[in-house]
Amino acid sequence: MHDVASQTENASLTRQTSASRTKRRNREDAPSRATRASSPTTAAARPTPARSQPRPLDTRKGEMSSAAKSAAKRLMVFGGTGFVGSAIVEEAVRRGLAVTCVTRTGTPPEHILAQAWSANVDWLPGDALRPETYRDAMGTADAVVTSVGVLPLPSLTHEEVVRGNGDTNVVPARTAKELGVDRLVVVGASIPPFVPGVAFGVPGLFEAGYAKGKKMALAFARDEFVGEEKKRGAVVLQPGGVSGTRYTGGRALPLWIAMSPVSRLLRAVPVNAVAELAPTPVGNVARAAVAAATEEKYAKRFEVIDNLRLLREFDE
* Ranges assigned E (strand) in 54-95: 74-78
pLDDT of residue 72: 63
Phi/psi of residue 294, nearest 5 degrees = -125, -30
**CA dist 231 to 28, 56, 184, 295, 301, Å?**
78, 32, 12, 15, 8
Cα angle value 142/148/154 (rounded, 5°): 170
Mean pLDDT estimate for the chain: 80
| Total-model pTM | 0.75
Cα angle value 233/120/181 (rounded, 5°): 20
The domain spans of the chain are 72-313
pLDDT of residue 256: 78
Per-residue confidence at 29, pLDDT binned at 50, 70, 90?
very low
pLDDT at 284 over 90: yes
pLDDT of residue 208: 87
As assigned by CATH, the class of the 72-313 domain is: alpha beta
